Structure 1
Amino acid sequence: MKHSPRALMLPACSVAAIIAFGWYAAQTVRPPDCAVAVSAFTDADGQPLSGNGEKVTWDELAERAYQDMVASGRCDPPAARWRHWLG
């Protein structure tokens, strides 16, 4: 029995959706209840100034602040997204 291309689309799309959902669920994310606030002096362009003169971005400052909070035990380390769904 030969299947039409249309009949094969539903299983193929279902497999693709399951794979995409699995990939999305396995991504490592920060805990949703851990808020990190960052403040810094800025230059005329609004870019943060570091204390030792090196170039730094807002994302790098936020990541450093988050890692400091994880090290001090105030925030949980990043985990797979599906773990956060379980509560």
Structure 2
Amino acid sequence: MKPSHRARILPACCLVTLAAFGWYATQSVRPPDCEVSFSAFTGGDGQPLSENGEAVTWDELEEGAYQDMVASGRCEPPVARWRSWLG
């Protein structure tokens, strides 16, 4: 590689790294002190059974339980990840 190619690659790598870090830092996350618990009846395949006949996943049930806890004031809403780094 010529030195001119290295001089172009280093700033490009720094820019990509900075963009990836910025994306990671701005992702919303749940507060760590909020524990969500829920229960569901399951079928023979171990998947949850819905009340209205539509297919539902464990993740959807967990998200619904979390949103209910946020609405009732027992949990804080999700915040950007970088806010938890500040303390």
2:66 alignment counterpart = 66
Segments of 5+ residues of structure 1 without an aligned counterpart are none
Determine the C-alpha separation between the residues in 1 that align with 2:68 and 2:27: 22
Determine the C-alpha separation between the residues in 2 that align with 1:25 and 1:40: 34
SS at match of 1:4: helix
- TM-score, normalising length: structure 2: 0.86
Q: CA deviation at 1:31?
A: 1.3
- 1:1-87 matches, within 5 Å, as 4-87=4-87
**Equivalent pairs: percent with the same residue?**
72
Determine the C-alpha separation between the residues in 1 that align with 2:43 and 2:72: 30
The two structures, once aligned, show a CA RMSD in angstroms of 1.4
Report the AA paired with residue 66 of structure 1: Y
**Number of positions where the alignment pairs a residue of Structure 1 with one of Structure 2:** 85
